[in-house]
A and B are shown apart, each in its own frame.
Chain A
Amino acid sequence: MPLLSAIIFLPALAALVLALLPARDPRTFRNAAAAATGMTFLLSLWLFAQFDVNNPSLQFVERVPWVPAIGFAYLVGVDGLSLPFVVLTALLSFCAVLGSWRVTLRPKEYFVLLLILETGITGVFGAQDLALFFLFWEVELAPMFLLIGIWGGPRREYAAIKFVLYTLAGSAAMLVGILVLYFAGEPRTFAWSELVGRQIAFEVQLVVFVLIFFAFVVKLPGFPFHTWLPDAHVEAPTAVSVLLAGVLLKMGGYGIRRLLLPLVPEAMRFFAPALALLAVVNVLYGALLCLAQSDMKKLVAYSSISHMGYVLLGIAALTTVGLGGAVLQMVSHGFITGLLFLLVGVLYDHAHTRDVGRFGGLVHRTPALAVVTSLAALAALGLPGMSGFVAEYTVFVGSFATFPWHTAVSTVGVLLAAGYMLWMTERIFFGPLNPEWHDLDDAHRYELVPLWGLIGVILLVGLYPPVVTDVIDLGVGALTRWLGG
């Protein structure tokens, strides 16, 4: 059974079925979507269980020639780098559907788009052919645009268009970059495994790097191409925020790691110091901006910018540990930020505001939510025992030898994270109850399920990192081969 293709296309198939369902009851759609994403998640767990952690090469490879004349094939597979993201996408998609329990506006279209989005994202992580990678990269765009543009907040159209234009500009550059790679050697191919190790002139490498990096740095997002992110998050519905921050941003880091590092290693080496500088700017700029936010969603969005800085730092270090830490940070941040956006969504559903300053003392009314939020905040500030600590610590260890000053300065982000996260939880939940919220409901059981599920995963990875690191290790093992030393 083509397990990987099943994981990629099951949501799309479900979307097709949903589109044909004659039902009118919103519950039908959300139950069907939950079943489809839940099934996909189980399949991804199965994939995870079947994955051989002693085999560093691509596994679950499926290859179907598509346009043989130009060497374009449907080629998917997973290795230590892809696998964590495939599972992460499946998990967060499932959580996103569970976090959409209250969607009543055009539920059929909403869930259909969400499912197509999942197929697009999973495809990006599974594709081992650059043209296919690009195809999936674009597939994700349309549902994202519509989800923000139709189900979003008051400024949804501005945010949606900003998101699309930014991404499209990046994609256009990336397409040119991929084509340059394609034409740069014989035989012409889009297959990643055949492109690795090709000798490409240094100047060409630089051009490819700049073109493709632009697409990824927009996605990541890196300063100064980040302003689409807070807007998109503030307007996007909860589920979309979860996927946007949880997995879409990772496509940037993943892309740098998958395409740029192995395919244009000399350019990577050349640009590494610039990347490290950008990383520090991201970490501090994002964290400082968090201190000035009162909208919870904006705060979490800017914290993502800060935390993605560590990903860049880990990659820029060009060490095994740094790369491992970067991947770990992406996975961990996926759990944590997904959790945070779900929490913001629950609170917003109950209180209809995200303004931190308007809350106060909510623990009196919502003890369960207070506990979960506190745990999420602790995870976000990198407390040991949670996945964020393992990831950030590994990044620091991996990058210090290469960039001691950058690393030392970026540790300040950890302190600032503690500042804004503790400020947020304290301001919302502790102190005397603001009378405005005297009849606020605590989170319902169905809302708590995905929250506690994610906390479970965060603790699991934080306490027993080998669950993930044994897999990631395979993905970084070949580093020395690409970098030739």
Chain B
Amino acid sequence: MVEVAWIIPALPLATFLLIVAVARSAPRLAHALAIAGVGAACLASVAVLAEVVGGAHVERIMAWFRIGQTVFTVGWVVDPLSAAMLVIVTTVSLAVHVYSVGYMHGDAGYARYFAFLNLFTVAMLGIVLAPTLLQLFVFWELVGLCSYLLIGHWYRKPEAAAAAKKAFLVTRLGDLGFLVGILMLWTATGTFVLAEIEAKVAQHALAPGFLTLAMLLLFCGAIGKSAQFPLHVWLPDAMEGPTPVSALIHAATMVAAGVYMVARLFPLFEGAPTALLVVAYVGIFTAFFAATMGLVAHDVKRVLAYSTISQLGYMMAGLGVGSLAAGMFHLFTHAYFKALLFLAAGSIIHGAATQDLREMGGLRRVMPITAITFAVGGLALAGVPPFSGFFSKDEILASALHAGQPVLFAVGLATAVMTAFYVSRARLLAFWGAPRWSASAAGSPGGSRDHAGHGGSADGHDAHAAGAPHDAHGHGAPHESPPVMTAVLVALGIPAALGGLLLGPASGNWFAHFLAPLEKPLPFDLGLAASGTAAALLGLGLAWLMYGARVISPEALAARLRPLYVACFRKWWVDELYGFIAARTLLGLARALAWFDLEVVDGVVNAVGAATRALGRGVRRLQSGQLPAYGLAIYAGVVVIAALVMLGPR
């Protein structure tokens, strides 16, 4: 299987093409094909993983095209890192595909949606298997394209179209650094093949400063894709896409790409410790910063979006302090619990027709499976033992401490408190307390709903808009989602609950040994585990006091800490800053240049034209028609030429 590992992206690619070719107006065929493609890729990935566990390791490089002596190389690499990632990506993607059958039922762009979901998976798998920087970049950009297409799925909504564009542009800003980093490494080594570059770095063939700069530039790409500060602004807006797409983006495809890239280039980063330290601090700052915004958001999807940014920061911090295993382990557990949380949020939106926490409450009675699975995901995110997130977060904190970075450790621990708080807050507001909806009027037209909202905002061309069963959802009482969705939630609940324990301590840290056999495992530290647990429980308790028992009034607290609250709520004005830069500075420059082009550059051209005409009028007078004057001119000309010939060189 490892010898033909290229088949893993090829399978969903084939079904993507098939859907485009034959199933554009056949929804059932479209989702059947899409699920078959990803399902087959998933099985193949598991087979590949089994072989890699058995010791297989394959790297195949081939020419894509060549110019002169320069070969532009692509291929595939199957090693523990890519094999593990293949399984993570395909399983989460499969879950999202199956879930979407229920969630997207009756959508006007159903077949298109599934086709792009397939393509998204293909692009991510292309990154995972990439053995060369060129291929990494190619699929990296295609991931960007797919996120654009899926975030903008409901392109009739201006917000969706704007969010799609924002995601593409912000991540592409980071990609400029990525591109220049690739060019630097290519210039220094003459190859795109990672293994060959790693060999050169291992021989210290590159100047340390040069390598550090190159790695920092490459990291810019990861900052964009993994929504790290300061390029995190696209991710919260990306929830304009259908919720299952958010799940895919936040768990396995888009944002994981950045972390995976750092992991894939880890041997290079190890040659540039300064760059790695930057990775760590950018990561932990992002983790803390994003968590503050998650504390106050009203939209359940936004809370989860900020949590993703924050958790990605943890992963970067783990990698940055030198532990590939810790960073990737958190990527693994996070993939499942975040997919679960997003899909559970989608289930709320599907059933209750709102994503505003203020319009929910008491939903656990009407949607029990969603409530329980959300709780499982929430506990995993909060890092409560024995749920999966506890073990992976613990490993990152331990690595930070072990690497002699107490500041990182402390900030990480503080972030853990906030994490537990905001996810519990969301859970309590959604599922507990008195209902803040009435059975007949759920989903008021003014509410911010993405799921039912697209049905409402779509115009008469939507086949399902009028009288289709789907549209009825928006008007009925909140209810549990169909089995095709809840089954997926339950299935994801298992790894979210147990994944950390099973692949962590219970198996003697199998995951870490498999991925990074050379990394020295950290001994289990009871004090560390206790402090992590305490942080989680502190957050949970605080949330319970404020939103469960209502002992502390959140409103009063917000009023007392008003500046802080506003700063968090307004996302620390980063969006406004970018808006200023883009709208004022860049567009201002563009307008100034447009004026310059029209008035100065073209003005000179027109002035030259006018001057020539004026000169022509003047010269015309010389053509007087008087032969003596002509004769004189000819004579003078001959004299001048003769003089030049005689006096000239030679």
Residues of A within 8 A of B (CB): 162, 165, 223-224, 226-228, 285, 288-293, 320-321, 324-325, 361, 363-364, 378, 383-385, 389-390, 393-394, 396-398, 400-401, 404, 407-408, 411-412, 414-415, 418-419, 422-423, 426, 429-433, 464-466, 469, 472-473, 476-477, 479
Which residues of chain B are within 8 angstroms of A477 by Cβ–Cβ distance? 68
What is the chain B residue whose CB lies nearest that of A461?
B65
Main SS class of interface, B: helix
Which residues of chain A are within 8 angstroms of B67 by Cβ–Cβ distance? 320-321, 324-325, 394, 398, 469, 472-473, 476
| A479, B152: Cα distance in complex, Å | 46
Which residues of chain B are within 8 angstroms of A361 by Cβ–Cβ distance? 156
Which residues of chain B are within 8 angstroms of A400 by Cβ–Cβ distance? 183-184, 186-187
- B587 A432 Cβ-Cβ under 8 A: no
Which residues of chain A are within 8 angstroms of B587 by Cβ–Cβ distance? 291-292
What is the chain A residue whose CB lies nearest that of B144?
A383
Which residues of chain B are within 8 angstroms of A324 by Cβ–Cβ distance? 67-68
A/B interface sample: 17 pairs, CB < 8 A: A227-B601, A228-B605, A289-B597, A293-B594, A324-B68, A378-B145, A384-B139, A394-B72, A397-B183, A398-B67, A400-B186, A404-B184, A411-B180, A414-B179, A430-B158, A431-B155, A476-B68
A-contact 0/1 string along B588-611, CB 8 Å cutoff? 011101100100011011000100
- B168 A227 Cβ-Cβ under 8 A: no
A-contact 0/1 string along B142-161, CB 8 Å cutoff? 10010010001001111001
- A418 B172 Cβ-Cβ under 8 A: yes
Within 8 A of A (CB), among B124-169: 134, 137-139, 141-142, 145, 148, 152, 155-158, 161-162, 165, 168-169
- B165 A473 Cβ-Cβ under 8 A: no
For chain B, the count of residues having a C-beta within 8 Å of the partner chain is 50
Q: A397-B70, A414-B179, A473-B66 are in contact. List 20 more A-B contacts (CB 8 A).
A: A224-B604, A288-B590, A291-B587, A384-B139, A397-B72, A397-B183, A397-B186, A400-B186, A407-B180, A407-B183, A408-B183, A411-B180, A418-B172, A422-B165, A431-B161, A432-B156, A465-B65, A465-B72, A466-B65, A469-B65
- B459 A433 Cβ-Cβ under 8 A: yes
| A224, B593: Cα distance in complex, Å | 12
- A292 B168 Cβ-Cβ under 8 A: no
What is the chain B residue whose CB lies nearest that of A367?
B461
Shortest distance from the beta carbon of B69 to any chain A beta carbon, whole Å:
7
Asked if B173 lies at the interface with its beta carbon under 8 angstroms from chain A, I say: yes
What is the chain B residue whose CB lies nearest that of A324?
B67
Q: 4 tightest CB-CB pairs across the interface, nearest first? A: A320-B68, A324-B67, A465-B65, A291-B590
Main SS class of interface, A: helix
Asked if B586 lies at the interface with its beta carbon under 8 angstroms from chain A, I say: yes
Which residues of chain A are within 8 angstroms of B590 by Cβ–Cβ distance? 288-292
A-contact 0/1 string along B176-218, CB 8 Å cutoff? 1001100110110000000000000000000000000000000
Asked if B64 lies at the interface with its beta carbon under 8 angstroms from chain A, I say: yes
Q: A227-B597, A292-B590, A465-B64 are in contact. Are A384 and B161 (CB under 8 A)?
A: no
Which residues of chain B are within 8 angstroms of A226 by Cβ–Cβ distance? 601
Within 8 A of A (CB), among B42-80: 64-70, 72
| A431, B162: Cα distance in complex, Å | 9
Pick from B69, B70, B162, B594: contact of A289, CB under 8 Å: B594
- A430 B68 Cβ-Cβ under 8 A: no
Which residues of chain B are within 8 angstroms of A393 by Cβ–Cβ distance? 134, 137
Which residues of chain A are within 8 angstroms of B602 by Cβ–Cβ distance? 227
Q: A363-B155, A408-B180, A418-B168 are in contact. Are A426 and B142 (CB under 8 A)?
A: no
Which residues of chain A are within 8 angstroms of B155 by Cβ–Cβ distance? 363, 429-431
- A415 B169 Cβ-Cβ under 8 A: yes
- B68 A473 Cβ-Cβ under 8 A: yes
What is the chain A residue whose CB lies nearest that of B65?
A465
- B594 A364 Cβ-Cβ under 8 A: no
Shortest distance from the beta carbon of B91 to any chain A beta carbon, whole Å:
26
What is the chain B residue whose CB lies nearest that of A472?
B67
- A430 B161 Cβ-Cβ under 8 A: yes
- B169 A419 Cβ-Cβ under 8 A: yes
| A412, B174: Cα distance in complex, Å | 11
Which residues of chain B are within 8 angstroms of A426 by Cβ–Cβ distance? 161-162, 165
What is the chain B residue whose CB lies nearest that of A411?
B176
| A288, B137: Cα distance in complex, Å | 25
What is the chain B residue whose CB lies nearest that of A328?
B67
What is the chain B residue whose CB lies nearest that of A463?
B64
- B158 A364 Cβ-Cβ under 8 A: no
- A414 B589 Cβ-Cβ under 8 A: no
Shortest distance from the beta carbon of B609 to any chain A beta carbon, whole Å:
7
- A384 B156 Cβ-Cβ under 8 A: no
Q: A165-B609, A292-B594, A361-B156 are in contact. Are A384 and B176 (CB under 8 A)?
A: no
- A292 B591 Cβ-Cβ under 8 A: yes
- B145 A383 Cβ-Cβ under 8 A: yes
Pick from A411, A418, A422, A465: contact of B179, CB under 8 Å: A411
Which residues of chain A are within 8 angstroms of B156 by Cβ–Cβ distance? 361, 363-364, 430-432
| A383, B138: Cα distance in complex, Å | 8
- A224 B601 Cβ-Cβ under 8 A: yes
| A398, B186: Cα distance in complex, Å | 10
